[in-house]
């Protein structure tokens, strides 16, 4: 009976250790559900334990992968650098890691980007482009008039 009780005690004590062996995401930048309002230079995923070099992340927008110039693993962190400023919209970070115990773990972090100056620059550029078109048309008309001069009637 004592052996059985001893074995049960050992099992109960080892279960929390086994459950904690899996590395999990402890924080991220941007955070789950966050609305990013400034340009995002890097994506940082922090994990509870060390992760393997083979760990990866992908950035997705509307079902298509957005290019990251590099993804670096640094002990408990994975850092991804976007190759270009992110456009406004909804994004998902899909990550897959190999934790200290060797088990592959994956997850997702959703966030949105809404940077005001991007819209303002595009809107400001559109009227300027329209003005340039109008100016070019006017200059073309004037050049055409100069080339074709009416001949005086003799």
Q: What gap in Å lies between CA 97 and CA 71, rounded to an integer?
A: 12
DSSP character at residue 100: T
pTM for this entry: 0.63
Q: What gap in Å lies between CA 8 and CA 14, rounded to an integer?
A: 10
Burial 37-66 (b: 16+ CB within 10 A, else e): eeebeebebebebebeeebebbbeeeeeeb
Q: Please classify residue 119 by burial: count the beta carbons closer than 10 Å to its beta carbon, then call 0-12 exposed, 13-18 middle and 19+ buried.
A: exposed
Mean pLDDT by 10 residues, the chain (154 residues): 55 47 87 96 95 94 96 95 96 91 90 79 56 67 59 57
pLDDT of residue 92: 98
pLDDT of residue 88: 96
């Amino acid at each position: 009976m004592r052996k059985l009780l001893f074995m049960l005690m050992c099992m109960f004590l080892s279960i929390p250790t086994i459950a904690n062996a899996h590395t999990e995401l402890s924080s991220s930048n941007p955070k789950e559900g966050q609305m990013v309002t400034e340009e995002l230079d890097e994506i940082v995923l922090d994990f509870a334990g060390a992760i393997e070099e083979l760990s990866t992340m992908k950035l997705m927008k509307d079902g298509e992968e957005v290019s990251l110039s590099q993804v670096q693993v640094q002990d408990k962190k994975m850092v991804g650098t976007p190759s270009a400023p992110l456009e406004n919209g909804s994004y998902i970070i899909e990550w897959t890691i190999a934790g200290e115990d060797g088990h592959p773990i994956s997850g997702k972090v959703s966030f949105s980007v809404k940077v005001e100056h991007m819209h303002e620059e595009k809107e400001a550029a559109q009227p300027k482009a329209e003005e340039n078109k109008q100016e070019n048309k006017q200059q073309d008309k004037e050049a055409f008039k100069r080339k074709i001069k009416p001949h005086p009637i003799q």
